[in-house]
Structure 1
Amino acid sequence: MAQPDDVLDDDNYPAYTMGRAAEIVGASQDFLRRLDEAKLIIPFRSAGGHRRYSRYQLRLAARAREMVDHGTALEAACRIIILEDQLEEALQQNRNHQRRQSGAA
């Protein structure tokens, strides 16, 4: 079982209920459901089937809300965020690969 300190430091731990997540993000619960439908955020489910969100997911939701507030369509905002995250991951992998290559030379 996870220790309390591990859970507190884990950005992926599903600590927030839908109501609390919506409050933190400054959006409606329906907005969070729509992010799920758009496949940006797939919430964890409690044993009772209730949606639970992590801090990482809340950051994604906040990015989407900000973009939508500035006039971007929800589906477009979700796609942009997904692509930005994929790009950042690819860039990080490239940096790691370059470090390994320079260390092997």
Structure 2
Amino acid sequence: MRTQMATPHESMPSPTHAVYAISVAAELAGIGVQTLRLYEQHGLVTPARSAGGTRRYSGDDLTRLHRITTLTGEGVNLTAVARILELEDTVARLRAERDRLRAKST
């Protein structure tokens, strides 16, 4: 009997599932571990923690890290990055709420 292999997409964790250790997340984001810790200190990213306190990053965290590195690469300071991310999060929430209300009214 032949078993079917999972496609790469099927074997990937969901974007919200925190699975990456700090060293892996830093490597995937193209930054140093200390830089990643600095971003956490500034509240730019908040990884999940294991029962033992180990940081675990998700695909969504990696997306956020790429956005942070893009902004800092353009010369934006960390205080401004925090504000930009806050505004982008607010816009995303408002769009989701708008879409939910539109779907409900149809």
TM-score, normalized by the shorter chain, greater than 0.5: yes
Deviation of 1:95 after TM superposition, in Å, equals 2.1
- Partner letter of residue 91 of structure 1? R
Correspondence 1:45 to 2:52: no
Bigger fraction of residues in helix: 1
Correspondence 1:68 to 2:72: yes
Deviation of 1:90 after TM superposition, in Å, equals 0.5
TM-score for both structures, normalised by structure 2: 0.80
Q: How many residues align?
A: 98
Unmatched 5+ stretches in structure 2: 1-8
Instruction: Say which SS state the counterpart of residue 17 (structure 2) adopts.
Output: coil
Identity over aligned residues, as a percent?
29
Unmatched 5+ stretches in structure 1: none
Residues 43-83 of structure 1 show CA distances to partners (whole Å, capped at 9, x for unaligned) of 11223322110010010011001110110001211220121
Q: Please, what is the CA RMSD of the aligned residues?
A: 2.0
TM-score for both structures, normalised by structure 1: 0.81
Runs of 4+ in structure 1 deviating by more than 3 angstroms, as ranges, are: 5-9
